[in-house]
């Protein structure tokens, strides 16, 4: 996604200057310094030497695979049975082949693990502690916050002589929601069912970062269209488990290409501007829009005091019992609720009394909870 954006930008600038360099040629130069982490990992499997790079930056580092997921992939795709390293451990080992020096920068988002097998930042800490004790580690002092899920590993590395904690390593002011610093705090409190904290955070951000609530999708679309100015971008997002939004013409099974969704112009039906395709947490993670319509289905519903977690199978909603899968669904909504730079509208359907898969009770409690937090309703 980033490579495509940089390639398009460079191509446009050169074209204006009369340069006829092919877009593909420009793309090759971009790939030289921005590459898929899996390609970087595969280079380490093929070559026994150190990488060309002495400094690497892993964005969304919490998404690296744990040992089980890595071993499964290596067996199925690379024909390497018995692979005994998590992805963080192997990536560090690849950089550790340098005899002089190397630097690894891990950029981490709290509560962003949404895929099966994503290890979180804890796997990086464990890898250093268990296999690379000679490495110096510099850690944000805010990594202790619960949403980072660093667990016991953080306490263990704290005892290492070569571990330093530094406040400067934490991005305290959100670069995504530049109009309000309290969006992440509000979303965290909302998901943690901490009503008073959520109300307080919402009060602090409401004047600069509008959030509204509606039960009508047309109203939601009109709301974000009316607020976008100039080239400001807007779009629909939905959970990957939001299977019963189809009556509202939102089918999350339709493949959304993030390149078209985020980069194409208003006249392209594949772009976010058209408000037809809803991107899921997998397509928007690490990216953002100016204005977002979050479409809320019955997969994640408030029961009056806590959240219920559901997966739609066959012709009915089924309770999600697995604790890891519950975390993934909760984090999916965390991702969706933190994609907007300037404001968002939350669409919670009315449901349909004659449809047991869209019973109003699946949605009403969630809507009431969001309204209790102070979010105003528009109609």
Q: CA 287 from chain center: how many Å?
A: 7
pLDDT tens digits for range 301-336: 999 999 999 999 999 999 999 998 999 999 999 999
Tell whether the model's pLDDT for residue 108 goes beyond 90: no
Locate tokens 């610093």: which residue?
Answer: 181
Residue that wins the pLDDT comparison between 356 and 28? 356
> Among positive and negative, which fits the CA dihedral 321, 323, 324, 329?
positive
110, 103 Cβ separation under 8 angstroms: no
- What are the backbone angles phi and psi of residue 296, rounded to the nearest 5°? -105, 120
For residues 236 and 276, give the distance between their C-alpha atoms in angstroms, rounded to a whole number. Answer: 7
What is the mean predicted confidence (pLDDT) over 20-37? 72
What is the mean predicted confidence (pLDDT) over 177-196? 84
Q: What is the pLDDT of residue 289?
A: 95
For residues 3 and 15, give the distance between their C-alpha atoms in angstroms, rounded to a whole number. Answer: 18
For residues 222 and 279, give the distance between their C-alpha atoms in angstroms, rounded to a whole number. Answer: 18
Residue that wins the pLDDT comparison between 48 and 299? 299
Q: Please report which confidence band the pLDDT of residue 174 belongs to, taking 50, 70 and 90 as the band edges.
A: low
Q: What is the pLDDT of residue 234?
A: 98
Q: Which residues pair with 308 in a beta bridge?
A: 301
pLDDT tens digits for range 77-98: 888 999 999 999 999 999 999 9
Give the residue among 291, 336, 342 at the shortest CA–CA distance from 177.
Answer: 342
Tell whether the model's pLDDT for residue 148 goes beyond 60: no
Q: What is the pLDDT of residue 153?
A: 65
Mean pLDDT of the chain, nearest integer: 88
Domain ranges of the chain: 35-169, 183-372
Locate tokens 């909504």: which residue?
Answer: 333
Tell whether the model's pLDDT for residue 135 goes beyond 90: yes
108, 146 Cβ separation under 8 angstroms: no
For residues 299 and 283, give the distance between their C-alpha atoms in angstroms, rounded to a whole number. Answer: 18
Query: Which range among 74-83, 154-163, 256-265 shows the weakest confidence by mean pLDDT?
Result: 154-163
85, 123 Cβ separation under 8 angstroms: no
Strands (E), 168-219: 211-214
Cα dist from 341 to 9, 19, 179, whole Å: 21, 34, 7
Give the residue among 42, 59, 35, 60 at the shortest CA–CA distance from 120.
Answer: 60
What is the mean predicted confidence (pLDDT) over 294-305? 97
For residues 42 and 6, give the distance between their C-alpha atoms in angstroms, rounded to a whole number. Answer: 24
Tell whether the model's pLDDT for residue 137 goes beyond 70: yes
Q: What is the pLDDT of residue 12?
A: 76
pLDDT tens digits for range 42-68: 899 998 999 999 999 998 888 888 889
For residues 31 and 43, give the distance between their C-alpha atoms in angstroms, rounded to a whole number. Answer: 14
78, 90 Cβ separation under 8 angstroms: no
What's the full length of the chain, in residues? Answer: 379
Locate tokens 């829009």: which residue?
Answer: 289
Residue that wins the pLDDT comparison between 127 and 62? 127
What CATH number does domain 183-372 carry, 3.40.50, 3.40.1360, 3.30.420, 1.10.287? 3.40.50
Tell whether the model's pLDDT for residue 143 goes beyond 80: no
Q: What is the pLDDT of residue 149?
A: 53
Q: Which two tokens stand for residue 140?
A: 């944000």
Give the residue among 48, 41, 138 at the shortest CA–CA distance from 92.
Answer: 41
Q: Which two tokens stand for residue 127?
A: 């890898």
What is the mean predicted confidence (pLDDT) over 67-73? 90
């Amino acid at each position: 996604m980033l490579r495509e954006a940089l390639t398009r930008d460079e191509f446009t600038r050169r074209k204006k200057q009369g340069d006829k360099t092919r877009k593909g040629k420009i793309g090759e130069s971009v790939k030289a310094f921005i590459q898929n982490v899996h390609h970087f990992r595969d280079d380490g499997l093929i070559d026994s030497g150190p990488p060309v790079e002495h400094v690497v930056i892993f964005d969304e580092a919490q998404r690296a695979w744990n040992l089980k997921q890595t071993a499964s992939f290596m067996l199925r795709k690379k024909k390497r049975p018995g692979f005994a390293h998590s992805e963080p451990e192997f990536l560090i080992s690849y950089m550790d082949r340098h005899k002089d020096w190397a630097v690894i920068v891990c950029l981490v988002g709290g509560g962003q693990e949404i895929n099966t097998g994503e290890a979180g930042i804890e796997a990086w800490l464990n890898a250093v502690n268990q296999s690379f004790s000679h490495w110096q580690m510099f850690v944000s002092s805010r990594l202790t916050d619960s949403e980072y899920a660093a667990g016991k590993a953080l306490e263990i590395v704290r005892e290492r002589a070569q571990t330093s904690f530094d406040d400067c390593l934490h991005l305290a002011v959100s670069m995504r929601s530049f109009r309000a610093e309290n969006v992440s705090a509000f979303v965290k409190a909302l998901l943690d069912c901490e009503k008073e904290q959520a109300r307080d955070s919402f009060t602090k951000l409401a004047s600069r970062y509008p959030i509204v609530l509606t039960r009508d999708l047309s109203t939601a679309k009109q709301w974000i269209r009316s607020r976008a100015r100039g080239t400001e971008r807007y779009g629909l997002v939905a959970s990957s488990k939001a299977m019963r939004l189809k009556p509202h013409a939102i089918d999350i099974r339709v493949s959304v290409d993030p390149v078209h969704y985020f980069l194409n112009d208003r006249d392209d039906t594949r772009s976010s501007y058209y408000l037809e395709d809803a991107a899921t947490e997998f397509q928007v993670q690490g990216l953002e829009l100016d204005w977002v319509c979050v479409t809320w289905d019955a997969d994640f519903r408030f029961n009056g005091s806590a959240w219920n977690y559901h997966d739609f199978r066959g012709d009915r909603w089924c309770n999600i019992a697995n604790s890891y899968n519950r975390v993934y669904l909760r984090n999916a909504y965390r991702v969706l609720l933190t994609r907007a730079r300037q404001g968002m509208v939350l669409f919670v359907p009315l449901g349909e009394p004659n449809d047991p898969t869209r019973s109003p009770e699946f949605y009403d409690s969630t809507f009431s909870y969001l309204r209790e937090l102070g979010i105003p309703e528009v109609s």
